[in-house]
Structure 1
Amino acid sequence: MRIYSTAFETGGEIPMRNTQEAEDLSPELIFEQIPAGTKSLVLIADDPDAPDPKAPKLVWLHWLLINLPASTRQLAEGIRHLPPGTVAGMNDSGNEGWAGPRPPIGTHRYFFKLYALDCVLEVPPRPFGRAPIEAAMQGHVLASAETFGTYLLSTNR
């Protein structure tokens, strides 16, 4: 299985338009080689370097999508209408949907993790975050893939 973005190379800099410094558009993501038997996909985008990459204390959740149809092969940049059946969870900024990079200190890494599941998850009461989803995914992951980009605030350059 593979996930990548057309907005940045793996390990490369995420464009400003995909951050809170500008339009805060979610980056385009492409999904390939989804395994047979996949019933749904889960996307988790997070920053393991919060608040300071030299002394990280937490993993900040930027995007959580569950029950993406197994046929999904792309999420367009700035997607407004999610594929049918897809449900957005609560990110650590306190809203559902994409919350782009705005690292307070240094260059942070932003991981986009795609999971192929052998089931469709029961949607927990909203708003929900990552913990109930990761618990529900246990024993149902057929495959996973990830990519990441980096970002440093323009004021810190």
Structure 2
Amino acid sequence: MNIWSDSFIDGGVVPPECALCVIDPGNHVRFSRNRNPHLAWDDVPHGTQSLVLLCHDPDVPSVGNDVNQPDRVVPLHLPRVDFYHWTLVDIPVALKTLAEGGLSEGVTPQGKTGPLLPFMVKNGTEHQLRQGVNDYTGWFASDPAMAGEYYGYDGPCPPWNDERVHTYIFTLYALDIPRFPLEGRFTGAEARLAIVGHILDEARVFGVYSLNPEVAATLA
């Protein structure tokens, strides 16, 4: 199975329009267009009954004391944890591509709605995809203007003082079941555990991103 993106090359920089935030010289960061990237795939194995797509960043600081604090840095060697940016399930085998901006366009305070996501498949039939809550749900929980349930895709917004380049991994899983086994609200981490034992194959593509101007300059 193969997966690729026309929005960025494998291992290349995630484009600013596909990020939640971009560098702002006057205020460190500002919101961006937050478009989901284009993704396409082929060679899905025989017997696949549905697909699951996850996007996660494995480079999120495990301790947040220094995050986005003036006159401090998040050190390169600080232990890191996973942060899920997107969980899309019940993808039909007939679907082969997702257009850039087709499922996310702009930043939505309090988050996009979910989990149901009506989607028109190429043959003209409507299919009910489902999306999990991403980890901005926890990140924005203490901000009255932003707090809510963040379903679907919300792109990169790593700490602007982080010494580490962040990696955004898009993984597609081919499953031997027609419907994802969890109902209602679920997270990316819960989704990954739920599909254990049902994975026929998987493929991944990744991009990198930074909001630290010194680090970002090395990626250009």
TM-score normalised to the size of structure 1?
A: 0.91
What residue is the counterpart of 2:27 in the other structure?
A: none
CA distance in 2 between partners of 1:91 and 1:82 (Å)? 19
Unaligned runs of 5+ in 2: 22-31, 62-73, 104-117, 121-126, 138-149
Deviations 1:74-106 (A, max 9, x none): 011112364513100010012111110011123
Map residues 1-157 of structure 1 onto 2, 5 A cutoff: 1-21=1-21, 22-51=32-61, 54-80=77-103, 82=119, 84-94=127-137, 95-104=150-159, 105=162, 106-122=164-180, 124-153=182-211, 155-156=213-214, 157=216
Unaligned runs of 5+ in 1: none
Compute the displacement of 1:123 (Å). Answer: 5.1
Compute the displacement of 1:40 (Å). Answer: 0.3
Which AA in structure 2 matches 1:68? I
Q: Is the 8 A contact 2:181 2:195 kept in 1?
A: no
Compute the displacement of 1:154 (Å). Answer: 6.2
Superposition RMSD in Å: 1.8
User: Secondary structure, in 3 states, of the residue corresponding to 1:86?
Assistant: strand
| Paired positions, count | 157
Q: Is the 8 A contact 2:17 2:35 kept in 1?
A: yes
User: Secondary structure, in 3 states, of the residue corresponding to 2:89?
Assistant: strand
Cα 1:56/1:27, change in 2 over 3 Å: farther
Compute the displacement of 1:152 (Å). Answer: 1.0
CA distance in 2 between partners of 1:122 and 1:142 (Å)? 14
Which AA in structure 2 matches 1:93? Y
Which AA in structure 2 matches 1:13? V
The share of aligned pairs that are identical, in percent, is 36
Cα 1:26/1:56, change in 2 over 3 Å: farther
Cα 1:15/1:154, change in 2 over 3 Å: farther
TM-score normalised to the size of structure 2?
A: 0.66
Q: Is the 8 A contact 2:180 2:195 kept in 1?
A: no
